[in-house]
């Protein structure tokens, strides 16, 4: 559990920086979810629902596109941010996002394949999804810092996490379960479409993702440092 608390402590110490880093994509996700929730499709007839969707299709498309671009950039940019915060802190949140944006296409394909992999895992009683999310989750680090391709990044992530697979699975399950649990709770009490719930759910999503991503980063850095020390001794 030391890694769990150290990841949370790191994010708490740098909470202002991380809020600025995540705020653009959080704002877009909340706006998109609120726009869709405002349609109230379940209470409308099929014809009325289609007309309502047609009226806002342009806004939805633009929000989806912007959200996709920024979320992909964030997946790589947060790794640049973590490295900067762990060293001299010379990279601003927006510079970190831009660094992720420069690797947009490799990150995009990798994120799509990662989502498919752990999505299939979730279909198999959820737990395999947590396992695959953690084992493959270090791919942005190899794309951002080593310039590797998509499949090579997945292979490197899988190999690097082999010795800590069980522990990583448990920590990933904890962080992801918080997100899923809050969403399930909102659905049960019937507030999952309200604006305050969307804001809370998005905040919790990134409040759990950032420590998890930092956990991936710290695992990568510790392994690379050990390899460097070993090579120097040789």
pLDDT by 10s per residue, the chain, length 234 = 678 889 999 999 999 999 999 999 999 999 998 888 777 655 555 566 567 677 778 888 999 999 999 999 999 999 999 999 999 878 999 999 999 999 999 999 999 999 999 999 988 878 899 999 999 999 999 999 999 999 999 999 999 999 999 999 999 999 999 988 888 877 777 666 688 888 999 999 999 999 999 999 999 998 877 655 544 444
Contacts of 93 (CB under 8 A, 6+ apart): 17, 18, 20, 21, 81
CB atoms inside a 10 Å sphere around CB 105: 10
Contacts of 80 (CB under 8 A, 6+ apart): 91, 95, 96, 99, 100, 144
Q: Quick one: CA dihedral 25, 27, 30, 32, positive or negative?
A: negative
Tokens 């920086």 found at: 17
Quote the pTM value: 0.89
């Amino acid at each position: 559990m030391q890694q769990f608390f150290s990841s949370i402590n790191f994010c708490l110490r740098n909470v202002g920086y991380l809020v600025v880093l995540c705020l653009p994509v959080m704002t877009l996700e909340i706006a998109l979810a609120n726009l869709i929730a405002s349609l109230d499709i379940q209470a409308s007839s099929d014809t009325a629902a289609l007309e309502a969707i047609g009226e806002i299709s342009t806004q939805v498309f633009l929000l989806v596109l912007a959200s996709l671009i920024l979320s992909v950039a964030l997946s790589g940019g947060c790794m640049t941010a973590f490295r900067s915060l762990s060293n001299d802190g010379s990279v601003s949140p927006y510079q970190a996002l831009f660094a992720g944006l420069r690797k947009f296409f490799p990150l995009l394909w990798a994120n799509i394949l990662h989502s498919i992999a752990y999505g299939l895992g979730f279909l198999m009683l959820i737990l395999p999804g947590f396992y695959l999310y953690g084992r493959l989750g270090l791919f942005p680090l190899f794309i951002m810092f080593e310039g590797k391709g998509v499949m090579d990044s997945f292979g490197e992530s899988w190999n690097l996490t082999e010795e800590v697979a069980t522990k990583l699975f448990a920590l990933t399950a904890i962080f992801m379960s918080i997100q899923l649990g809050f969403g399930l709770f909102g659905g049960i009490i019937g507030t999952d479409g309200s604006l305050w719930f969307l804001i809370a759910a998005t905040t919790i999503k990134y409040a759990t993702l950032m420590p998890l991503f930092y956990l991936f980063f710290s695992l990568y850095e510790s392994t690379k440092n050990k390899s460097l020390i070993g090579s120097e001794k040789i």
